[in-house]
Structure 1
Amino acid sequence: MTAKAEPHTRAFTIAHEVRKRIRLRSQRLFDPALDLKYLEALVESLPGVESSRTNKWGSSIVIEYDGNRTNRDRILNLLENIPVDAYMPDGMKADPISLPTVVAQGAAAALTPFMPPQAAAPTSWLMGLPTMLEGLHSLLYDGVKVEVLDASAVAFSLLRRDYFTANAIVAMLGLGSAMENWTEKKSNDLLKNLLRPQVEMVWVERDAQEKQVNFTDLMVGDLVICGSGELVPVDGVVVDGDAALNQSSITGESLPVHVSTGDDVLSGAVVEDGRIKISANNVGNETSMARIGRFLENSLRTQSTSQKKSDELADKLVPVTFALGLGLFAMTHDVTRAASVLTVDYSCAIKLASPVAVKTGMHTAGHCGVLLKGAQALDNLAHIDTIVFDKTGTLTKGNLTVADVLPHGTMHPNELLALAAGAEEHYSHPVARAVVAEAKAQNLQLPPISQVDFIVAHGVSAHVEGEHILVGSRHFLEDDEGVDCSGAEAQGRALRAQGKSLLYVARSGHLAGIITLRDELRPEASETLAMLKKRGIHKIVMLTGDHKDTAQSIAADLGCIDEVHWELNPEDKAVLIKELQENGHILAFAGDGVNDAPALVSADVGICMPGGADLARETAQVVLLENDLRILAVARDVATQTQRILKRTFQAAVGINSAVLLAATAGTLSPVASAFLHNASTLGILGYAAAAGRKIPVSAQQLDSTATFHKA
C-alpha cells in the first residue's frame, strides 16, 4: 500500500514510500558543493540499505532497503544530518547521462536523414542545446575545456544545417559519457566491495531462540552470540558467558583479553576461546570496524599528485585543439574540417583512465592484503627510495621472551626473576609483560611491592619489604640512579653480541643481576628486505631502542640493512625521518606501536603492521592486512604496476588522438568518423586501465602458497 507524502519541516520530505523503497525530495541536492556520489556511498553503508540513487534535477533520492523501521530512521537521520565531509566545493561534476537518454539520442540521430527539414531542424537544435549550454558555461566560468570543443563542433554542424552530423556527435558524446560513467562506477564498486562486513551471517537470540540472520539485519539491542574462532561483528556489552578475545586488530595487544559479563567489547575482535552473548550498542557503519570503510569512501574522491599533473597537462592541450580548429576554419573556410578537428580532445581519455587505473589498483592491493588510504598513498609507494623499519613488532614478531636469568652474587635465579616481575607486574610494556609471564610460567610467588614509579623509556623504581628495587636499562641504573654496573661489562657485551636485550636489576643500590630477553625475527624478514632491494629501494634503515651491540647483531642476521640507529627514544624516530627527507630521500616508515605515530605521519608513506596499535593504524597511509611482511613488496609491485598503467594510458591517449587529429586536419575524416574514433579510443583506453589494474602481481601469486590472501 502506498503511503501519503509526509508533510513536515525537515530538509528532506518523503515524496513516495512503499515497504522497502523510499523516495525523498530536498533542495539540498541542488547544492553544487554536495558530492552526490559520496552521499550515495554513505547511505549504502547503512545497515539494511541495498541501493541508493540520486536525481539532482528531480531534487530526489531513491533508496531501496530492507523495510526495517529502525533502518528507515537511520536513513532519515543521516539525510537530515549530512556530514561535512560530503561537501566538497571543488568536487562539482556533471550529472551522469541515463541509458534511456542515450538510446533516444541514438535513435534520433539514426532517423535524422529520413526526417523532413521542418522536423529535423528543431529536433537537432533541441538535442544540441544542452551540449552548447554546457560549453558556454564552461567557457564563461572555467575557460576553454573539453566541453567548449564539443559545443563548438555541434554548433558548427547546426549552423551549416548538417543535422545528421550534429545529432550523431551528440549521440556519440552521450554514449561515450554513459560508458565512461559505467566504467568509473565499476571501479568505485570494486573499492566499495571492501567496505562490506567481514561476516555475512551472525547468530542472535530473539524470542528466546537462537537464529542466524544477515549481518545487515542486526539492530541495536540484539543479543549477538559469538563462539570460538568467530569475529565480533558489533560494539556492545557482554551479558552472558566469558571468553578470551584477540583484540590485536583494534588495540595492537597480542595477548588474548579475558571478558565476562559487564565487559565492553569492540567489533573486529576475534573469540579465541569461550562463548559470549553481546548486547549490541552499535551496528553496521557505526561500529569500530567501519572506520576502515570511511578511509575507502574518502579514497573514491581523492587525486594523487600524478593524477593532478596528468589532468593539468590534458587541460593545457584543449586550447591547442580549439585554436587548431578555429585556425583551420579561418584559413580554409571549411566548416566540416574544423568540426572534425573540434571533436577530438586529449583530456577525456587522460582524465578518465587515471582514476579508473588508480581505484582498480587500490582494489587489487586490498585483495592482496594491503589497505591503501587514498590515491596519494599508492602514488608515494611507487616513488619511495628508502624504507625505515622500527625493529620491534615489524622486523621481529614483537613477542619478547626471557632467555636468561643471571644473578650477581648469591641470589637464586628464581628469586631475581620474582623480584623483577614484582616490580614490573603493573607496568604495561612488552618487556614487563615478558618478565611477568616467565615468572608466572615458573609458578613463582611475587613479593609485595609498594611505591612503584614508572620512568618512560627507562625502567621501574619500586620498594620491596623496605628495599629499593630498580629494573631497567644500564643507562637508567648507572647514569640516573648511580648503581655501579661495571662488573657486568664483559658479560653484557657477550650477551648483546648474541642479539639479546638486557634488563638490569638492582637491589638497595647494588647490581643484583641481569635478565636477557629475545625477540624472534620474523621468518620472512630477510627475504622481504631482499625483495625490496630488487624493487628499487636503495636504502633500508633499522631503528631500535636496543643497545648498539644488540642492534648490530640483529642487523647482521637480517642482511640488506644499510643503516642502523640504536638506543632511540620515541621522539627520536620522527627527527630521524625529517633528517633523511632533508637529505633528499623519499621514504616510507614501517611501525606498529602507539609511539610510532609521529614517525608514521612524518614519512612520505606511513606503513602499519596488521597487529598495530589503534593509533598507528589511524595515522598510517598503508595498513598491511595480513601478518606477512612480504606483502609490503607486493604493495610496491601494485603501486609500480599502477604507475606503469597510467603512463601507458597517457601515451595511448596522446598517440591515438594525435593521429585522429592529424587525419581530421588533413580533411580525410568527417566529423562523425572523427567523433567515433575519438570516443572509441577513449573507451578502449578505459577498458585497458580497468583490466590491467585488476591483474594480481606475480609476487602475490608466488606468495599465495605460503600466505593467505583475499581472492580477487
Structure 2
Amino acid sequence: MAAKAENRKHGFTIAHEVEKRIRLRSRRLFDPSLDLRYLEALAESLPGVQRARTNKWGSSIVIEYDGNPANRARILNLLENIPKDAYMPGGTGQGAISLPTVGTQGAVAGLTPFMPAEAAAPTSWLLGMPTMLEGLHTLLYDGVKVEVLDASAVAFSLLRRDYFTANAIVAMLGLGSYMENWTEKKSDELLKSLLRPQVEKVSVERDAREVRVDFTDLAVGDLVICGSGELVPVDGVVVDGDAALNQSSITGESLPVHVSEGDSVLSGAVVEDGRIKIAAQNVGRETSMARIGRFLENSLRTRSTSQKKSDELADKLVPVTFALGLGLFALTRDVTRAASVLTVDYSCAIKLASPVAVKTAMHAAGHCGVLLKGAQALDNLARIDTIVFDKTGTLTRGNLKVTDVLPLGGGSDAELLALAAGAEEHYSHPVARAVVAEAEARALPLPPMSQVDFIVAHGVSAYVEGEQVLVGSRHFLEDDEGVDCSGVEALGRELRSGGKSLLYVARSGKLAGVIALRDELRPEAGQALSMLKERGIRKIVMLTGDHKDTAQSIAADLGCVDEIHWELKPEDKADLLRELQDAGHFLAFAGDGVNDAPALVSADVGICMPGGADLAREAAQVVLLEDDLRLLAMARDLAANTQHVLTRSFQAAVGINSAILLAASTGKLSPVVSAFLHNASTLGILGYAGMAGRGAKATKTRSNAANRSQEK
C-alpha cells in the first residue's frame, strides 16, 4: 500500500527496482513539449547518479545510481517536480530508436524475399505502420516535413506490393535514425563530461567538531569553515572569524577586503588571510560552481541564429521534394520512380550537422580552457570585429609588484624595504607577498620582529629592537596611529598618477618612507592582442577607471590598442559599448567584476575571466577556464573553423542530395538504392561535422609552444 501511495504521489510508477537501479513509468514522458534529453541531463547532475536514459515509446526512464536512499529520494523528487525549463514550446522530446529494433527491422527486410506472400504482406504492413502513422501525424499537425516523405515512400512501395523495398526503406530509416541519434548523443555526452565540481571536499562544523564532507552533501544552514588559501564554496553570511577576502573579481579592486561577523560572502572568492565560519545560504545547484553545469545543460538544446536559418531553409526544401515525387507519379504513373524521389530529403543532414558540429566544438573548447554557453556564443565569436577589454583583472593579473622604494630622513631603500618585509613576512596578503618577494629578490636580511599584530585589511604593527614599526595604508598610519604623512602628499600624487598603490612605513611614530606597488600586466597580454589582430579583429579598445597617465602607459606597454577610455564609472562602460554598436561594430567585451555585468550583457559576446564574479559568469556567453588571454585567439579559431565546417556541410547536403534526387527523378535509382545513398551521405556529413573541434588542440599546442619560447 505504501509503495502504491508513493507511486501515485510522484506520478511515476516504479516498474522495477534493484540495488543501484530504478525504472519508472509515466505517461508524462509522452508530453511532446518535454525535452527528454534535458530531463536525462538533470537526472545525471544529481548526486550519486551515474546514468539516466529515457524510452518515450516505453514511457519509462531508467536511472542508475549509487544506491544511497537520500539520492533515491532526490531522484523521485526531481521526477515529481520536473522544472519548467525542461519543457519547450513546440516539443523536442523525440524518442530515439533502440538498437534491438534496428536489428529486427534489418532481419525482417533481409528475410522478406524468402517469405511466402501470405506472410510477407501482413509482416510488411505491420513493420511499416509506425512510419506511416508518424508521417500522418506530422502532416496533420506540422505540415509537410521529412516524416511525410518517409511515410509516402513506404506507403507507395506497400501499395504496389513491393514488400522488400518497403521493408528495406524502413530498415535503412531505422538504422539512419539510430546512427544520427547516436552521433548527437555522443556529442551531448562530450559536453556532459565537462560537468565537474570545482570543489570536492569542504570543512563544516557538525556536533561542535570540524569535519570534511563532500561538496554535494552541503545543505542550507551548514556552517562552512574556510581558511587561508581556500575557495569559498557557498554563498552565505560570516558568523564567526575575521579574514581578508580576495574579491577582486567582484569589486575590480586589486586589494582584498576585510570581512567579519555579519558580512555577506559570495562563492568563488578566496581567503587570503584569516579564518571564517560561513552560514550557507546557497548551496549545490545555486552556487556558481554548479552554474557551469546548468550552462552546459542548456547548451545541449540551444540553437544559434545561423542554425535556425539553415533549419528553416531545410524545411522549405521538403515540400519541394514531396511535390516533385507526386508530380512524377502524376506524369509517369511510375510508383517506383516516385518512391525513389521521396526517400531523399535535405532536412536530415542540414539539421543534424549543426548541433553535432557545435557541440563537438564546445567540447573541444572546454578541454582547451574555454566555456562556451551555447551555439549562439560560437556563432557570434566568428563574427566579431571589435574587442573591448576592461583593464583590471583582464589585461592585468590583479597581482601587485614593488616599483619604487622611497626612504625618508636619510635612510637607505634597502633598510626601508627590509624593515617593511620583516613586519610583513608572515602575513598572507597580496601587498605583503609583493614586499617580501622584492626583499628576497634583493637578498636582503630581514630584522627580527616581535609582538607582530595583523590588523586585517589595514596593516601590520610589530617591534624591532624595542621600536614600534607600522606598515600599511595612509589611513591606518595617520588616522588610526597618529603618524604625520602630510610631507609626502606631492610624492603620493605623482606616484598615483602612474597607476601605483602606496604602502606607508613608520618607525617610532615617524614616517620612514613610502613603497609604491603596481598591478602587474599579464605577460601574455600583448601577444594575445597581436594574435587577435591576426585573426581579423580590426579594433581593440581598453577601458579603465584609472587616471589618464596610467591608462596611456599600460596601453603603450601592450601595443595593438586602438582606443583608450579612462576614468570611467561602471555604468559608463555599457554606454560606450552601445555607442560602438551604433557605429556598426560587432563586438565582444572582456571583464570579470560585478560592475562589468551591464557591459557583458550589452556586448554581442560577453567574455568573463576565470576568476570572475558570479554575476559576471552568469552574464557572459564565454568564460575562460584558464588564466591565459591567448585562449581567446584559440576560441576565435575554433568558431571560424566551425562556421567553415557548417558551410561545407550545408553545401555537401544540398549538392549530394540534389544529385541523388536528379538520378532518382530520371529513373536511374531504385527506392532501395536511393534510400541507401541518402542515408549514407547523411552519416558521412555527420562524421565530417564531428570534426569541428579538430583544430583546437593544435591551436593550443602552438600557443603553449609560443609561451615556452617567450619564457626562454
For Structure 1 versus Structure 2, the TM-score category normalised by the shorter chain is 0.7 to 0.9
After superposition, the Cα gap between the structure-2 partners of 1:239 and 1:24, relative to the gap in structure 1 and judged at 3 Å, is: farther
- Deviation of 1:707 (Å): 7.2
The match for 1:147 is 147
Q: Give the deviation of 1:320 after TM superposition.
A: 1.5
Match of 2:465 in 1: none
Aligned-partner residue type, residue 626 of structure 1: E
Q: Give the Cα–Cα distance (whole angstroms) in 1 for the partners of residues 364 and 571 of structure 2.
A: 35
Contact 2:109 2:171 in 1 (8 A): yes
State the shift of 1:400 in Å: 4.8
Give distance in 1, aligned partners of 2:227 and 2:472.
Answer: 34
Change (3 A) 1:446 1:495: closer
Q: Counterparts in 2 of 1:596-675, with a 5 A limit? A: 596-675=596-675
Letter in 2 for 1:444: L
1:444 aligns with 2:470: yes
- d(CA) in 2 for partners of 1:353, 1:466: 71
Counterpart amino acid of 1:301?
A: R
* Counterpart check, 1:379 vs 2:379: yes
* Alignment-derived partner of residue 510 in structure 1: none
Q: Give 1:80 deviation, angstroms.
A: 1.6
Q: Deviations over 1:324-379 (max 9, x none)?
A: 21222222221111111111111100100100000111111111101111111111
Deviation at 1:469, TM superposition (A): 11
Aligned residue for 2:172?
172
Q: CA deviation at 1:563?
A: 1.1
Give the Å deviation of 1:25: 2.8
- Tell me the residue number matched to 2:499: 500
- Tell me: CA distance 1:536–1:706, structure 2 relative to 1, closer, same or farther (3 Å): closer
Counterpart for residue 324 of structure 1: 324
Give the direction of change, closer, same or farther, for the CA distance of 1:273–1:400 in structure 2 (3 Å limit): closer
- Offset of residue 10 of structure 1: 3.4
Gaps spanning 5+ residues in structure 1: where?
414-429, 451-461, 471-484, 506-512
Alignment of 1:82-481 (within 5 A): 82-198=82-198, 285=285, 287-400=287-400, 403=403, 440=460, 443-444=469-470
Which secondary structure does the structure 2 equivalent of 1:89 belong to?
A: coil
Greater Cα shift, 193-202 or 340-349 = 193-202
Q: Cα deviations across residues 216-238 of structure 1 (Å, max 9, x unaligned)?
A: 78899999999998877778999
For residues 588 and 651 of structure 1, do their structure 2 counterparts lie closer, same or farther at Cα, with a shift above 3 Å needed? same
In 2, Cα distance between the equivalents of 1:266 and 1:392? 20
Q: Which residue of 2 aligns with 1:19?
A: 19
Superposed displacement of residue 111, structure 1: 0.9
1:547 is displaced (CA, Å) by 2.7
The DSSP-based 3-state class of the residue aligned with 1:308 is: helix
CA gap of 1:678–1:226, structure 2 versus 1, over 3 A, is farther
Q: What secondary structure is seen at the aligned counterpart in 1 of 2:57?
A: coil
Q: Does 2:559 align with 1:559?
A: yes
Alpha carbons 1:216, 1:284 under 8 Å: kept: yes
- 2:206 and 2:457 map into 1 onto residues whose CA distance is 41
In 1: Cα distance, 2:82 partner to 2:283 partner: 19
Q: CA deviation at 1:595?
A: 1.1
What amino acid sits opposite 1:89 in the alignment? P
Deviations 1:200-231 (A, max 9, x none): 78999999999999877889999999999887
- Structure 1's 323 and 80: CA in aligned 2 closer, same or farther, altered over 3 A? same
Q: Conserved in 2, the CA contact under 8 Å of 1:254 and 1:611?
A: no
Query: Aligned residue for 1:44?
Result: 44
1:690–1:567 Cα change, 3 Å: same
Question: For the residues of structure 2 that align with 1:707 and 1:226, how far apart are their CA atoms?
Answer: 34
Distance in 2 of aligned mates of 1:346 and 1:666:
19
Q: Deviations over 1:370-408 (max 9, x none)?
A: 111111111101110000111121111223567559899
Post-superposition offset of 1:96 = 0.8
Given residue 190 of structure 1, which amino acid in structure 2 is its aligned partner?
L
Match of 1:481 in 2: none
C-alpha distance in structure 2 between counterparts of 1:235 and 1:595, whole Å:
18
How far is 1:501 from its partner? 5.1
Partner residue in 2 for 1:455: none
Q: Structure 1 residues 210 and 113, CA, compared in 2 at 3 Å: closer, same or farther?
A: farther
- Please give the alpha-carbon distance, in whole angstroms, between the structure 2 residues aligned to 1:556 and 1:264: 39
Q: 3-state DSSP class of the match of 1:541?
A: strand
The more displaced of 382-391 and 252-261 is: 252-261
Q: Deviations over 1:414-442 (max 9, x none)?
A: xxxxxxxxxxxxxxxx99x9999796499
Is the Cα–Cα contact under 8 Å of residues 32 and 92 in structure 2 kept in the other structure? yes
Segments of structure 2 that go 5 or more residues without pairing to the other structure are 414-429, 436-455, 463-468, 505-512
Aligned-partner residue type, residue 534 of structure 1? E
Aligned to 1:361, the other structure's residue is in SS state helix
CA distance in 2, matches of 1:277, 1:18: 41
Query: Is the 2:238–2:277 contact (alpha carbons within 8 Å) kept by the matching residues of 1?
Result: yes
Comparing 13-22 and 102-111, the one that deviates more: 13-22
Instruction: Kindly provide the CA deviation profile for residues 32-54 of structure 1, in whole angstroms up to 9, marking residues without a partner as x.
Output: 22211111111111001111222
Q: Describe the SS at the equivalent of 1:362.
A: helix
Deviation at 1:59, TM superposition (A): 2.9
What code does the residue aligned with 2:499 have? Answer: K
Instruction: Report the equivalent of 1:525.
Output: 525
8 Å contact from structure 1 (residues 589, 605) kept in 2: yes
Aligned residue identity for 1:602: S
Aligned length: 658
Quote the offset at 1:91 in angstroms: 3.5
Helix, strand or coil at the partner of 1:398: strand
Task: Describe the superposition over 1:513-541 as per-residue Cα deviations: whole angstroms up to 9, x where unpaired.
Answer: 99966322111111011000000000111
State percent identity of aligned pairs. 78
Aligned to 1:684: 684
Assess, with a 3 A threshold, how the Cα gap between structure 1 residues 111 and 257 changes in structure 2: closer, same or farther: farther
Give the C-alpha shift of residue 250 in structure 1: 8.4
| Inter-partner Cα distance in structure 2 for 1:449 and 1:242 | 20
- Contact 1:502 1:514 survives alignment (8 Å): no
Q: Which amino acid aligns with 1:532?
A: L
In structure 2, the CA distance between the partners of 1:277 and 1:105, relative to structure 1 (3 Å rule), is farther
Runs of 4+ in 1 over 3 A off after TM superposition: 2-10, 198-288, 399-410, 433-443, 445-450, 462-470, 499-505, 513-517, 704-708
